[in-house]
Structure 1
Amino acid sequence: MSHNPKADASSNTQKNPDDWVSGDEPMTGAQRSYLKTLSEQAHQPDVYAEDLTKADASKRIDELKQALDLE
């Protein structure tokens, strides 16, 4: 039986953003858009910043999703 990485509970989607190889790269366009939307919905515009890394954007998105009960 071969290993299915998509069924692995420790896949990249669950990996701590601080451990991402590309975490220091600028956030993606999708992250930028989603973070801006969430920060507006949460009435926390100061959470959004253009110069965030992928890892920082991911952490802020997760925090906002939790604050908005989206998880």
Structure 2
Amino acid sequence: MTDANKPQAQPDHSNTEKDPSNWTTGDEAMTGAQKSYLQTLCEEANESFDPNLTKAQASERIDQLQTIANRGE
């Protein structure tokens, strides 16, 4: 693997994983991708789906449900 193809470590000040509460668009409606994935996770975790979540709320709910549904990291 050449140096150009090696994954780069993110600096400590990177914002690639910004807290959803700090998103500038966090109060907008969730995206179509979030909605679809959240519906799937809700079904797998036997949890109710709320179609009115914001982007930030949907992101946090996805994180919660990934744990319940044994998905993610």
TM-score band, normalised by the shorter chain?
0.7 to 0.9
RMSD: 1.9
Deviating above 4 A after TM superposition, structure 1's stretches of 4 or more consecutive aligned residues are none
State the Cα deviation string for residues 4-61 of structure 1 (Å, max 9, x = none).
Answer: xx8335323x1110010000000000000000000000011x2x21111000000000
Paired residue for 2:20?
Answer: 17
The structure with the larger Rg is: 2
Which structure 2 residues correspond to residues 35-46 of structure 1 after superposition, within 5 A? 35-44=38-47, 46=48
Other-structure match for 1:50: 51
- In structure 1, list runs of 5 or more residues that go unmatched: 1-5
Give me the TM-score of the superposition, normalised by structure 2: 0.77
Q: Does 1:7 align with 2:6?
A: no
Give the CA deviation at 1:66: 1.3
Unaligned runs of 5+ in 2: 1-8
Q: In the alignment, is residue 34 of structure 1 matched against residue 37 of structure 2?
A: yes
Q: In structure 2, how many angstroms separate the alpha carbons of the residues matched to 1:18 and 1:51?
A: 17
Which one has a larger percent helix, Structure 1 or Structure 2? 1
Please, what TM-score do these two structures have when normalized by structure 1?
0.79
Residue type at the aligned position of 2:64: E
